[in-house]
Structure 1
Amino acid sequence: MNKPFITYTAQVEKLKNEKKLIIINIDFAIASLKNISYYGLISGYKHPFIDIHTRKYINNTCFEDIVTLYEFDEELRGLFFRYLCRIERKLRSSISYYFSQKHGERQEEYLNPANYSKVNKKGLIKLIKMLEKMANENTDHKYLIYQRNKYHNVPLWVIFNALTFGQISKMFEFLPQNMQALICQDFGNIKKNEMIKFLKVLTLYRNVCAHNERLFSYHTYIDIPDTLIHKKLDIPKNTSKYICGKNDLFCVVIAFRYLLPQTDFLIFKKQLVHILNRYEKKNSNLKLNKLYEYMGFPPNWKHITKFRKI
């Protein structure tokens, strides 16, 4: 059954009277619901403050607690998105460099199935069709039209600017092993299979950040591989699987540790600690250790920079 439309004032009254949420400033509550929406704010961020049995708010939760969590998540998205984009940018550069170094600048080369691995023919055909359509038909990007009209050719390093993180990651998957190895060297010499899994997970998290979805408690349906970092942090296992750092937000932090330059990762970690500390000072109803559980962060996560990653 669909829920009926109710006004902002009625939404506030429902939260206050039915759900037992403390609302001190009604004007602030209405303004927040107008700016974010009930679904985006309450439905998205109420869960840590709700008793799952009574579905009422607990521990004297107030409206500001939910807004503070929303604003924390907004900051978190901004930080993670910035560094996801850095990895994406470097991946674009690395793939286009090594592919063009071997095959030249003609678009016929990246549209030629012979220049890729033969492992997944169906997936490769789909990739090439997408690249062909982008090179020959796309009208959304002026630089593609310019290259097409003036030179009758769109080099890989040009077309790459129009591809998504997911499309670029998929292209990496189809490259020959020797080319994959060169690209992996640019990212700290990680293994090819690790790189593929990292990129699949990071693509999903990038989409969450780009579409302003809830980040702090997001989990993917695929895992990153077990790493030395998992072992060094003594993360417990549930049977054979680590209980955190596999498909939660901490798995992104681990991926960053492997894929970002050391200086970039240290700056990222410092900024992340700052955001977490600021949230802890603002919110008394959701302690940092409980927030860590939602994010998949082990209590000793800050030690991640103490260990070698390989």
Structure 2
Amino acid sequence: MGAKTFKTLDEQIDILKGKGLVIDDIEYTKNIILRENYFFLMGYRHLFMSSDNPKLFLEGTTFKELYSLFYFDRQLRNIMFKNILIIENNTKSIFSYVLSQKYGYRESDYLRNINYNQSPDKIRQVNDLLKKMKRQIRVNGGQHEATKHYINNYGYIPLWVVVKVLSFGITSELYTILKPNDQREVAKYYDVEPENLMQFLPILSNYRNLCAHEDILFEHRTQKVIPDNIYHDNLNIPKINDEYIYGKGDLFSVVIIFKYLLSKDDFRLLMAELSYEIDALSGKLEVVSIDKVLAKMGFPINYKSLLDME
């Protein structure tokens, strides 16, 4: 495979034209490529490529249509990210309340191994995770005014402040090492089963990181999947080999998680924003249909019905 060499904007446009992409406005296209990066824009090309010749765009595909999918995905990331942050903040607050109330709020209290699951298959994970927590507290603690305030004035950092410097990945793993009673106590605030929350959190963490790094979101899949639930059934999502084809580890699975974990008002706003962006993209697509995009997202055609389901 030959080495990839630098290409000027004009050369990049010639490459796109050679692949059959219609470019009506050269200066507009140059400006977008310069600002957004040719490589990242091309990450969205797959929906528009010919099945007969995967190196060529479908006949009639325009640069503006390709860019509309890129822009749509950016809007999706913004919507999903802010709602994941709401749940991250809620979860950290609930964790700190439950654990501080039961075990104490100083590091010498909440970082004691004995306060976590002591079953033989969890001992090593508990030890490793508490070490990670201590490391994040040490590294990140000095970067936040609240943690510095408590260290300088009180000599310790309470858990409700520490959670601010812990990553969501650490927080989601923390749930897996809680004692079963503590897991139930946390889960009851969301009115979900502990087993479900244990599967929800790492999926949210995965999508959070993807959004934060501006990776392609709309067609992302996680290895972890959410359990089958009433929403899969009520939406009449089809199955293949007895497995639902949508709403498991795809973007729609995150929307289902939001249905469980967000407040009703926040979820209603989320659905309104998603519907707006999907409808806006639909009006810009010509060569491919919005149904094809929804399928890549794992969204059933009747996804809006989720809003009013109990």
| Equivalent pair of 2:251/2:297 in contact (CA under 8 Å) | yes
For residues 222 and 230 of structure 1, the distance between their equivalents in structure 2, rounded to whole angstroms, comes to: 17
Where do residues 131-280 of structure 1 align in structure 2 (5 Å cutoff)?
Answer: 131-136=133-138, 138=140, 139-187=142-190, 189-280=191-282
> 1:229-269 CA deviation, whole Å, 9 max, x = no partner?
11111111111211111011110111111111122111111
The 4+ residue runs of structure 1 with deviation greater than 6 A are none
Deviation at 1:133, TM superposition (A): 2.5
Tell me, yes or no, if the aligned pair for 2:137 and 2:165 is still in contact at 8 Å: no
Kindly provide the amino acid, as one letter, of the partner of residue 13 in structure 2. V
> How many Å apart are 1:137 and its aligned residue?
5.4
1:78 paired to 2:85 = no
Contact persistence 1:135–1:148 (CA under 8 A): no
CA distance in 1 between partners of 2:137 and 2:294 (Å): 45
Structure 1 pair 137–47 and aligned structure 2 pair: CA distance change class (3 A): closer
Equivalent position SS for 1:124: helix
Amino acid across the alignment from 2:294? Y
Match of 2:8 in 1: 7
Question: C-alpha distance in 2, partners of 1:64/1:84?
Answer: 30
* Gap runs ≥5 in structure 2: none
Q: Using the alignment, how far apart are the partners of 2:262 and 2:8 within structure 1? A: 47
- Segment of structure 1 superposing worse, 137-146 or 275-284: 137-146
Match of 1:97 in 2: 97
Pair 1:137–1:286, CA change in 2 (3 A):
closer
- Give the whole-Å Cα distance in 2 for the aligned partners of 1:136 and 1:6: 45
Tell me by how many angstroms 1:148 deviates.
Answer: 2.4
Structure 1 unpaired stretches of 5+: none
> Given the superposition, is the C-alpha separation of residues 181 and 197 from structure 1 closer, same or farther in structure 2, using an over 3 Å criterion?
same
Matched, 1:287 2:289: yes
Contact 1:135 1:154 in 2 (8 A): no
Structure 2 residue 27 is matched with structure 1 residue 27: yes
Query: What is the Cα-based RMSD across aligned positions, in Å?
Result: 1.4
Give the residue type in structure 1 aligned to 2:143: D
Structure 2 length as normaliser, TM-score? Answer: 0.94
Identity of aligned residues (%): 33
Q: Deviations over 1:165-203 (max 9, x none)?
A: 11111111111122211211211x111111011111111
Q: Deviations over 1:41-69 (max 9, x none)?
A: 12x11111011441201130011111111
User: Residue 307 of structure 1: CA displacement?
Assistant: 2.7
Please say if 1:51 is aligned against 2:53: no
Of residues 283-292 and 33-42 in structure 1, the stretch that sits farther from structure 2 once superposed is: 283-292
Distance 1:79 1:136 in 2: 32
Report how many residues are paired.
Answer: 305
- Structure 2 contact 294–300 (Cα < 8 Å) conserved: yes
TM-score w.r.t. the length of structure 1 is 0.94
1:79 aligned partner, one-letter code: I
The whole-number CA distance in structure 1 between the counterparts of 2:196 and 2:33 is 42
TM superposition shift of 1:136: 4.5
Equivalent residue number for residue 67 of structure 2: 67
Deviates more, 1:141-150 or 1:159-168: 141-150
**Structure 2: distance between partners of 1:48 and 1:92:** 38
- Asked whether the 8 Å contact 2:68–2:281 carries over to 1, the reply is yes
Task: Give 1:36's aligned residue.
Answer: 36
Secondary structure, in 3 states, of the residue corresponding to 1:181?
Answer: helix
